[in-house]
Amino acid sequence: MNTISTRGERLKKGSASRRVQNKLDLKRQILESAMTLFETHGYDGFSLRQVAEAIGYSPTTIYLYFKDKDELLFNIAYEGFRDFGLALQAAYDSSSDHHERIWRIGRAYFDFGMNHPVHYRLMFMQRGEFLAQTAPTGYTDFVDSFSILTRALSEGMDEGKIKTFDPQMTGGLLWASLHGVVSLVLTNSHLPPETAEPLFAWQMQILERELRM
């Protein structure tokens, strides 16, 4: 009976995990479909019923996987925060020179905004409060993008390569400067898109001068 019970348990566990897997698959499918719909229709034109239509389920099915529309939106945003954090981390890792490092983080920030305007708008302009929200279930390895910035700064300060200021404050200054350029370009008023790059370069140059000892 040892073998029987073992086989039974194995079956039990197997089907149970298959169940969970299916659930995760559909949850992922919803999220995936929601993201593409969100990217094409934008914040205002995004609806749950469209998502349901796209995946071939009834609208209420979504509620079995997400508490409400806002939680789904948050998960969409979170995918962005994840990629954003990874991009900034990669920039951090790509150099050991402190100034070059900060330059590359700035570049990664700018590029993310230019390449993912719809996501950027959601994350930092329309629903900026999402950034302060705790990670949804299933995401463990989130890198806080702001921390990458402040770490790069305080390390540079500790090693005497960067002028000493309050790292939080300095991080805020950098963040604000980059966000200003990106969001102004995305908002698209008065600023032709070809001025984005030189404006970014200028801003970075000014910041570098401010921070260099």
Partner DNA sequence: TGACAAAATTAACAGTGTTAAGTAAATTGA
Partner DNA sequence: TCAATTTACTTAACACTGTTAATTTTGTCA
The length of the chain is 213
| Dihedral sign (CA 46, 135, 21, 23) | negative
List all residues 6 or more positions away from 113 whose beta carbon is below 8 Å from its beta carbon: 120, 182, 183, 185, 186
Residues 162/167/172/178 CA torsion (nearest 10 deg): 30
At its nearest, how many Å lie between a copy of itself and the CB of residue 3?
A: 57
Question: Buried b vs exposed e over 170-193: b needs ≥16 C-beta within 10 Å?
Answer: bbebbbebbbebbeebbeeeeeee
- Which does residue 74 touch among DNA, a copy of itself, none (CB within 5 to 8 A, set by kind)? none
At its nearest, how many Å lie between DNA and the CB of residue 119?
A: 18
- Which does residue 105 touch among a copy of itself, DNA, none (CB within 5 to 8 A, set by kind)? none
Q: Which stretch binds a copy of itself (CB under 8 A): 45-53, 82-90, 96-104, 118-126?
A: 118-126
**Minimum CB distance to a copy of itself smaller for 33 or for 170:** 170
At its nearest, how many Å lie between a copy of itself and the CB of residue 192?
A: 9
Q: Which stretch binds a copy of itself (CB under 8 A): 6-14, 23-31, 54-62, 193-201?
A: 193-201
- The verdict on 47 binding a copy of itself (CB under 8 A) reads no
